[in-house]
Amino acid sequence: MLQVTVDDRPRPIRRSARSGGQLFTVHTGGREPEPTEGTRISYTYRALVQQHGHVLYLDFDMPAKGVEVELAYGDCGIRHVNVLDFIAGAQPTRVSRSPKDVTPPTVGVRFDGWVFPKSGVAFAWVLEREMAALPRATSR
């Protein structure tokens, strides 16, 4: 966990380790939101994923309104990333890609409506070295 903000204010993060996992705790600042208003929580974390796995899946286990996910994949040998969104809604998800000359390259998914449990976003990629290993088609 790199950073957490609650209603756009940075909050300190407390980390505790357990066997088989970690727990990150953030206090919201002591203010209880009114039932009619929401709380905006934003966080950034870094994860190491096996290159040969070719998939990173993020699922949502609680309802959330407005979701934005961005994957930065610089300096890891990835040539291209596809996005698979499993978010059902009346409005489509928006996928954005950074320009080719931007470092690190990123791909993002944004959905402004309600995201319900069992929804998710998957990023699937192909490695640069796998593209170089493909046999070239011959023309006759």
Would the pTM count as exceeding 0.95?
no
Kindly state whether residues 23 and 63 are assigned to the same domain: no
Give the number of domains in the chain. 2
- pLDDT tens across 83-115, in order? 999 998 888 999 999 998 999 999 999 999 999
Kindly state whether residues 103 and 77 are assigned to the same domain: yes
**Confidence band of 135 (pLDDT split at 50, 70, 90):** low
**Confidence band of 139 (pLDDT split at 50, 70, 90):** low
CA angle 87, 45, 128 (to 5 degrees): 80
Kindly state whether residues 56 and 76 are assigned to the same domain: yes
Kindly state whether residues 91 and 39 are assigned to the same domain: no
Mean pLDDT calculated for residue range 34-62: 81
Q: What is the mean pLDDT of the chain?
A: 86
